[in-house]
């Protein structure tokens, strides 16, 4: 079995990891933690010609470094699960599009994602990654809500 976890280091993504850890999976199940680094809107390519390249690359390096640390922390949570083979994948771009690309390329049996519960206004302007996965993934998608604070 193949399970893709959409992981972005948020409490909602941590809830998705916990959900995967609580379940019993067939021996040899593969789990892939897929993280997408999205550019802040102000820094999204294409950049103006006079945009300071080193500053943009510095921001990119910071975002990628944080994403890798978050992935490593999530992967460590699976340390005691010898029945699961855990790998990571890091992409850049739009979370919706990049995750759907990972799903198409890796062909998981299940996608687990956390829901941040955006307001209707934010969902209108930014879109919902969960909605995109649920409506476009060719496999089942489990949406996990983080515990109430």
Locate the domains of the chain by residue range: 2-144
pLDDT of residue 13: 94
> Residue 129: which H helix or E strand, with range?
helix 129-136
Please report, for residues 41, 42, 94, 97, 111, the alpha-carbon distance to residue 104 in angstroms, rounded to integers and kept in the order given. Answer: 26, 29, 15, 10, 12
CA distance 71 to 32: 10
Mean of the pLDDT values across residues 88-115? 95
Sheet strands side by side (includes 84-92): 84-92, 29-37, 2-6, 110-114, 140-144
- pLDDT band at residue 74, thresholds of 50, 70 and 90? very high
pLDDT of residue 58: 80
Lowest mean pLDDT among 21-25, 54-58, 105-109, 125-129: 125-129
pLDDT of residue 148: 77
- pLDDT band at residue 125, thresholds of 50, 70 and 90? very low
Residue with tokens 């922390």: 73
2-144 placed in CATH 3.40.50.620: yes
Structure tokens at 19: 């959900």
Q: What is the pTM of this model?
A: 0.85
More confident residue, 23 or 119: 23
- pLDDT band at residue 126, thresholds of 50, 70 and 90? very low
pLDDT digit string (tens) for 22-57? 999 998 999 999 999 987 654 555 555 455 566 667
């Amino acid at each position: 079995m193949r399970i893709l976890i959409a992981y972005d280091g948020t409490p909602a993504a941590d809830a998705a990891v916990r959900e995967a850890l609580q379940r019993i999976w067939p021996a040899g199940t593969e789990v892939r933690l897929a993280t997408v680094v999205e550019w802040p809107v102000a820094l999204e390519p294409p950049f103006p010609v006079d945009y300071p390249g080193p500053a943009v690359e510095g921001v990119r390096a910071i975002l990628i470094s944080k994403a890798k640390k978050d992935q490593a922390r999530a992967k460590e949570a699976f340390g005691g699960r010898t029945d699961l083979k855990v790998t990571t994948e890091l992409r850049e771009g739009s979370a919706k599009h990049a995750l759907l690309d990972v799903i198409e390329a890796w062909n998981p049996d299940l996608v687990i994602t956390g829901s941040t519960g955006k307001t209707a206004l934010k969902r209108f302007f930014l879109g919902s990654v969960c909605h995109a996965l649920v409506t476009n993934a060719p496999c089942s998608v489990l949406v996990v809500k983080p515990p109430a604070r």
